[in-house]
Structure 1
Amino acid sequence: MPHEHHHGCGHESNDHDHDHDDAALGYQDNLFQHIDRPNVVALNADGNAADIIKPWHLRLDEAKFLESDADDQLIIRIPFIGTVRLKAILLKAGPGGHTPAKISLFANAPTLDFNDIQDRPATQEIVVPQSRDLGEYAVKTAKFSNVSSITLFIPEAQGEDTTRIYYVGFLGTWTQSKSQPIITVYEAQANLADHEKIQGMDGTWSAPGH
């Protein structure tokens, strides 16, 4: 984990992107190192979903991106290591009509199915302007205060047949796993130690008898 953290201090690309206040605040609150990148999943996607989860100094880079496949709808599920309290989501998309019209955010959603997600009330929706710039969208922190995963549902692009995402990032604070009431302390420790083995943990939490 620390080796990725140090990349953000790179002297080349972290100099004058957004000047002092924005860059300093963003990097300090950036949750990149707490994202479980190997288990980031996308549906109807052409490309590797984890490619858009980039370290801070690559947030403006357009070499890697994720594009929708059969149509302009896209689902991206991003799990965290432990739990986080979200303040904002960062998004770089486009160009032009490939920009999402809006994004529905779902905190701790157990499903990745297009049919289910359209009937599920979103935790919050954000409207995305047609811009290739990096945008910061504040979330209602009270609704995102104990988040172990966040799912992004993009119902449509702004005119083009596909949606393209260059970067997704999150600002907030990491709260580890101490505030999860459903599992015991011992199970929480085991989960953290064996994290790569519990991709389906959402299902196991709701199993009868737990």
Structure 2
Amino acid sequence: MCSHGHSHNCASEHIPEVPGDDVYRYDLVSYIDLEKVTTLNESVDGAGKKVFKVMENRDDRTEFVESDCDHELLFNIPFTGHVRLAGISIIGDEDGSHPAKLRLFKDREGMSFDDCRIEADQEIDLKQDPRGVVDYPLKASKFANLHHLSILVDANFGDAETRVFYIGLRGEFQHEFRQRVAIATYEARAQLKDHKNEIPDAVTRTLF
């Protein structure tokens, strides 16, 4: 499993509470490639991807993920293009199973717990937030342009297992993957050399 360093996010950083749905929108779920989301140490296979819900369903507690053999959970989240992440919200239970610390990693696909020994791009100490009213801002310099996010739940508030009901990501979609765009552009442009046997020579006729 991951090493348990105890470096913390800046204690003086103000963590705003969100009084209503209109203050922040956590809409990047529509740009997550949900079929390819993986969660390590989940007690039920496939449960982890279900916590990435539309914001309006964040109070739904019928779907959640719970850790298996200890308190750690590791989410590997691919996006369908490049995005800019600005904030995160997370909902847990009103007990010791609520996540207490997150470590975030940018553009490191397929991370395992052993990979988490490297320095995180950002670490966040969480409040217990069973209603999802706390917004945790992310570093603009780190998360301005990424295609993959890994989230490690590194600690909870004391229980043997961790339970998560919702993870919301705030930000905006930036652009499609350049390689796909380049291929699409190439295919859309007629290539004369590829069709030279299909295009008849031009014939000039005079109509009387």
Cα distance in structure 2, aligned partners of 1:88 and 1:189: 33
Find the counterpart in structure 2 of residue 201 from structure 1: none
User: Structure 2: how far apart are the matches of 1:159 and 1:184?
Assistant: 45
1:32 aligns with 2:29: yes
In 2, Cα distance between the equivalents of 1:76 and 1:188? 31
* Structure 1 segments (4+ residues) deviating >4 Å: 187-190
| TM-score after normalising by structure 2 | 0.73
Q: Which amino acid aligns with 2:128?
A: Q
Q: Note the C-alpha offset of 1:185.
A: 4.2
Give the helix-richer structure, 1 or 2.
1
Native 8 Å contact 2:105 2:150 kept in 1: yes
Q: Distance in 2 between matches of 1:174 and 1:153?
A: 23
- Cα RMSD for the two superposed structures: 2.1
Say whether residues 1:186 and 2:182 are aligned partners: yes
Q: Give yes or no for the alignment of 1:98 onto 2:97.
A: yes
Larger Cα Rg: Structure 1 or Structure 2?
2
Offset, 1:156: 2.2
Q: Letter of the aligned partner of 2:113 in structure 1? A: F
| CA contact 1:49–1:76 (8 Å) conserved in 2 | yes
Distance in 2 (CA, whole Å) between partners of 1:45 and 1:163 is 9
Summarize the Cα distance change of 1:167–1:188 in structure 2 as closer, same or farther, 3 Å threshold: farther
1:171 aligns with 2:167: no
The alignment's TM-score, normalised by the length of structure 1, stands at: 0.72
Shift of residue 25, structure 1, vs aligned partner: 4.0
Change beyond 3 A, Cα 1:184–1:49 = closer
State the distance in 1 between where 2:120 and 2:38 align. Answer: 19
2:82 matches 1:86: no
Q: Distance in 2 between matches of 1:57 and 1:114?
A: 32
| 1:104 shift after superposition | 0.2
- Paired residue for 1:46? 43
**Which secondary structure does the structure 2 equivalent of 1:23 belong to?**
coil
Task: Report the CA distance between 1:96 and its aligned residue.
Answer: 1.5
Q: Which of structures 1 and 2 has the larger relative contact order (alpha carbons within 8 angstroms, sep 6+)?
A: 2
